[in-house]
Structure 1
Amino acid sequence: MPPPQQRPPWRLSEGNRRVFDVLLAGGLFVLGVGGHLVVGDAPGMLFTAVQVAPLVVRRSHPSLVFVLVAGASAAQALVHDLPVAGQVAFPIATYSVARWSPRWHGVGALLVGCVGALVASWSWIGGFGAPEITWDAVVPYVVTITAIVTTAWALGTAAQTRERYVAGLVERAEQAERMAAREIELAAQDERARIAREMHDVVAHGLSVMVVQADGARYAAEKDPELAVETLATIADTGRGALTEMRRLLGLLRSGDTGVRPQPGLVDLPHLVEEARAVGMSLDADLPDPVPDVPEGVGLAAYRIVQEALTNVRKHAGPGAAVRLRVQVGSDIEVEVVDDGRGASSYDDGRGHGLVGMRERAALHGGTVSAGPATGGGFAVSARLPL
C-alpha cells in the first residue's frame, strides 16, 4: 500500500501577502487611532498613525520600515511620555527586518530594541506620575519589552533560516535533476554508440559474406548451376540472419518485449566458424568444448571481436588467406585471430570502425585488444577479456 501523499505547507500567494499587510496596517490604524480618538489623545493618534502606516511595505522594504518605526518611537519618547497603540508596530517591524533583511540588519534591530526598551520604560514611568523613578520600577518594564522584541527577532531569524534551508534544498534538488538529465543524455549517447558498433558488426559481416557468396555464384552459374543454387541459399540465410540481428538491435530502442532471440555469445562461435568456412575461408578453429558459462556482456564482446576479425580477413587479407582462430576461457577469455594474408597495409592502419569497435568493446569490460602485423606476414588480432 503506497504511503499517503503529504500536502504541501499552506502559504499565501504574492498577491494575498500584500493584501494581508494592508489589512494588518489598516486594522491597527483603525483600532489604534480610533482608541486614542475616543479618549481624546491627539498626540497618541498622530504617533500611532506614523508608526503603523509603514507596515504596508514591511516585506519589500523591511529595513526602511524599521528605521521609520524606530524613529517615530524615539520621537514619541521625547514628546509623548505615555505608551500608544502604535507601539505594537515596533515588534512587527523587528520581525520583518529579521525575516527579510540581511542578518546583520536583524541584529542591529535587536540592539536598537533593547536600548529602546530602557528609554521607553524610563519615559513611561515618569508619564504614569511616579514620584520617583527607580530601577526596581524600571526593570520589569525593560524585561517585558525586551522579551517581546527578542521574541519577534527570534521568530523572524528562524523563519529566514528555514527559508534559506528550503531554498538550499530546492537548489540541490534542481541541481540533482540537471545532473540526472545529463546522465540520461550521456547514457543515451553511449547507447547510440553501442548500437552503432553492433550495426556495423552485423552489416559488415553479413554483407561481406553475401558479396563473397554472390561472386562465387556468378562464376559457378555457368559451370555448376547446382552449386550456384546452394550458394544463393547461403546468401539468403546470411541475409535473414543479418535482418534478425538488425531487428534485435532496433528492438533495443523500443520498450517491452521485442520477441527476438537473445544476443549472441560464446556458444554461437561454432556457427560463426561454419559460416566462414561456407564462403571458402580456410579456417583452423580451436574453441572451448564444452562452452563454459560466462557473463552475457563479456560473451557478446568476445563474439563480436571474433566476428569483426573474420570480417576483416575477408575484406583485407586477400584470396587464399588461411586463418587460425583460438578462443580459451580460464580466469579470463583469450581471443586470437591470425591470418597469413597481405598484412597490415590493407587494414587502413587500424583507423577503421571495426578495430576501434573491438577496442571499445574490450575496454568496456576492462579488457584489451591488440592488432597489428603478424610475425612472418599477415595480420593478428589478440584480445583479453577478464571474467
Structure 2
Amino acid sequence: MTSTGDGREGTGRDGPWWWERRRGAVLDVGLGVASAVECAFEGVPTAREAGVPVWAGVLFGALVGSTLVLRRCRPVAVVLVGIAVTPATMGFLLGVVGLYTLAAYEVSRRVLATLAAMSLAGTFVVTYVQTRGDVEADGTLVIVLSVFMAVALTVPPVLLGLYVGARRRLMESLQERADSLERELSLLADRAEERAEWARQEERTRIAREMHDVVAHRVSLMVVHAAALQAVAAKDPVKAVRNAALVGDMGRQALTELREMLGVLRAPEKQPAVREVSAPAAPEEGPTLGELEALVGQSRAAGMTVEVLVQGEGGGYRPEVEQTAYRVVQEALTNCHKHAPGARVVVRLAHREGEVAMQVENGPCEGEARGADLPSGGNGLLGMRERVVGLGGVFVSGPTDGGGFKVSAVLPAR
C-alpha cells in the first residue's frame, strides 16, 4: 500500500492490518473517532427532521463517521460515503480528510477529478438549498455563498493532497537515487580495492622477477667460478687468483644491483591514494642491450663458448624493451650454465623494423662436462615468458632436434 505522504511512511512495517506504521494506525483511529462523534451529533437534527428515533440518527452518524478509519486502504469508498451523506449535512471532517487522502494517493487523475466534482456539486446544492430557505436574500448572494462554501470545502484539501503526494514522490525518487549512488560507490570502492590488490600483486611479481634475474645469474656464475677455482687451486695458482677475482667482481655486481632494487622498494611514507589503484609502475631504469657484450663476456670468462650474432642496427627502444631483452638473454645464459655446462651457445640478436628479436640456443653437452650442481627453482622460463608477453611480445622455448635447447623472443619496439 502506498503511503499518503503525510509523514507516516517508513522503511519498516510495524503497524497492524493495512497500516505500515503504528503511529499511522493511531492517527487514523483518532480521526475516525473524531469523525464518528461529529457525525453522531449531526445525526440528531437529521433524525428529527426525518421523523426517526434520535438514537437511530446517532448510530447512523457514528457508523458513517467511523468509515474514515479506512481512508488509507479504501480512499475512494470514504469519499463516496462523504458525498452520499452530504444532503444530511453531516460528515464535514469525513469529506475534507477523504478528499485530501484521495489526492495524496497515486490514483487516476480522472477518478480524482470526477469525485472532486461530485463533492463540489453536492456541497453547492446542499448549501444553496439551506441558505435559500434560511436567508431572505437575492439569488446572486445565495449563489455566491454556495459557490464559496463548495470551493472552500473541496479545492483546498485536493490541492494540499496533490502537493503532499508530489512531494512524497519526489522524496522517494531522491532516496532511490541516493541508494543507487551509494550502491555504485560501494561497487567502485570494491573495484578500486581489487585494482589495488592486482597492482600490488603485479608489483610483487615484477620485483620477484628482477630479484630472480639478478641473483640467479650472478650467483650461478659465482658458483661456476668457485668450482673452477677449487679445481685449479693446486695446479694453476695464477688461474685460481684470476677466478677468485672474477668471483669477487660477480659478488660486488650482484650486491650493487640488489642495493639499487632495494632502493626502489624504499617508497616514501605518504603516497597519493590514486597511485595505489593505478597500473603497476614501469620498470625502473636497468640494463640495456648495450651491456650485452659484457654479459656474454662474463659467461666466456666462466669457460662457456659463446658466439654472438647481431643483425641490423638497434637504438631508440623503450627502456622496458631493452631491459626485457637483456634479461631474456641473461636468464637463457644462466640456464645454459645450469643445464648444459660445456655446451656451445649461440646468441642471436636481430634489429628489425618495429621489433627486436633474440634467440639463445645451446647444443648438447660435450664430453663429460659437468656443472657445479646449481639448483633450479623452475621459474626462469616462466619469468621470461611473463616479461615478454607483458610487453605484447612472443616467447617460445623448447628442445632442438640436435639435442640442445632454444629460447626465442620477439618484442615490439614501440
Q: Say whether the fold is shared (TM-score over 0.5).
A: yes
Matched letter for residue 124 of structure 2? I
Tell whether 2:321 aligns with 1:298. yes
**2:73 aligned counterpart, secondary structure:** helix
Matched letter for residue 281 of structure 1? M
Structure 1 residues 146 and 366, CA, compared in 2 at 3 Å: closer, same or farther? Answer: same
1:374 paired residue number = 400
Q: Of the candidates 73, 79, 82, which is equivalent to residue 67 of structure 1?
A: 73
1:204-229 deviation digits (Å, cap 9, x = unpaired): 21221111011011122212334333
Q: Is the 8 A contact 1:95 1:156 kept in 2?
A: no
1:339-377 deviation digits (Å, cap 9, x = unpaired): 22349xx9xxxx932122222211111111222333544
Query: Using the alignment, how far apart are the partners of 1:244 and 1:89 within structure 2?
Result: 88
1:179 paired residue number = 191
**2:285 aligned counterpart, secondary structure:** coil
Deviation of the 1:311 alpha carbon: 0.5
1:198 paired residue number = 210
1:150 paired residue number = 162
Q: Trace 1:123-142 onto structure 2 (pairs within 5 A).
A: 123-130=122-129
2:348 paired residue number = 326
1:307 paired residue number = 330
1:234-269 deviation digits (Å, cap 9, x = unpaired): 223322332333344445544239xxx832222332
Structure 1 residues 140 and 305, CA, compared in 2 at 3 Å: closer, same or farther? Answer: same
Query: Using the alignment, how far apart are the partners of 2:250 and 2:325 within structure 1?
Result: 20
Q: Trace 1:82-93 onto structure 2 (pairs within 5 A).
A: 84=92, 93=101
Aligned-residue sequence identity (percent) comes to 31
Structure 1 residues 369 and 315, CA, compared in 2 at 3 Å: closer, same or farther? Answer: same
2:384 paired residue number = 358
**Structure 1: runs of 5+ lacking an equivalent:** 1-13, 16-20, 55-63, 98-105
Query: Using the alignment, how far apart are the partners of 1:327 and 1:123 within structure 2?
Result: 102
Query: Using the alignment, how far apart are the partners of 1:218 and 1:96 within structure 2?
Result: 98
The structure with the larger Rg is 2
**Structure 2: runs of 5+ lacking an equivalent:** 1-9, 12-21, 44-57, 133-141, 270-283, 372-376
Q: Is the 8 A contact 1:114 1:146 kept in 2?
A: no
Query: Using the alignment, how far apart are the partners of 1:214 and 1:276 within structure 2?
Result: 14
Query: Using the alignment, how far apart are the partners of 1:377 and 1:383 within structure 2?
Result: 20
Query: Using the alignment, how far apart are the partners of 1:48 and 1:252 within structure 2?
Result: 83
TM-score (ref. length: structure 1): 0.68
**2:396 aligned counterpart, secondary structure:** strand
2:219 paired residue number = 207
Deviation of the 1:72 alpha carbon: 5.3
Query: Using the alignment, how far apart are the partners of 1:76 and 1:91 within structure 2?
Result: 9
Q: Trace 1:252-263 onto structure 2 (pairs within 5 A).
A: 252-256=264-268, 262-263=285-286
Matched letter for residue 256 of structure 1? P
Query: Using the alignment, how far apart are the partners of 1:107 and 1:170 within structure 2?
Result: 31
Structure 1 residues 88 and 129, CA, compared in 2 at 3 Å: closer, same or farther? Answer: closer
1:247-303 deviation digits (Å, cap 9, x = unpaired): 44445544239xxx8322223323312222221221222458986131122112111
Q: Is the 8 A contact 1:113 1:149 kept in 2?
A: no
Structure (1 or 2) with the greater helix fraction: 1
Matched letter for residue 365 of structure 1? L
Query: Using the alignment, how far apart are the partners of 1:209 and 1:96 within structure 2?
Result: 87
Matched letter for residue 370 of structure 1? V
1:110-159 deviation digits (Å, cap 9, x = unpaired): 6664454234324433453446999x959967666544433333332232
Query: Using the alignment, how far apart are the partners of 1:162 and 1:299 within structure 2?
Result: 56
**2:175 aligned counterpart, secondary structure:** helix
Structure 1 residues 303 and 71, CA, compared in 2 at 3 Å: closer, same or farther? Answer: same
Tell whether 2:292 aligns with 1:269. yes
**2:203 aligned counterpart, secondary structure:** helix
Tell whether 2:410 aligns with 1:384. yes
1:316 paired residue number = 339
**1:222 aligned counterpart, secondary structure:** coil
Q: Is the 8 A contact 2:103 2:158 kept in 1?
A: no
1:289-321 deviation digits (Å, cap 9, x = unpaired): 9861311221121111101110111111122x2
Matched letter for residue 374 of structure 1? T
Q: Which stretch shifts more, 212-221 or 183-192?
A: 183-192
Q: Is the 8 A contact 2:121 2:150 kept in 1?
A: no
Matched letter for residue 363 of structure 1? V
Query: Using the alignment, how far apart are the partners of 1:302 and 1:232 within structure 2?
Result: 30
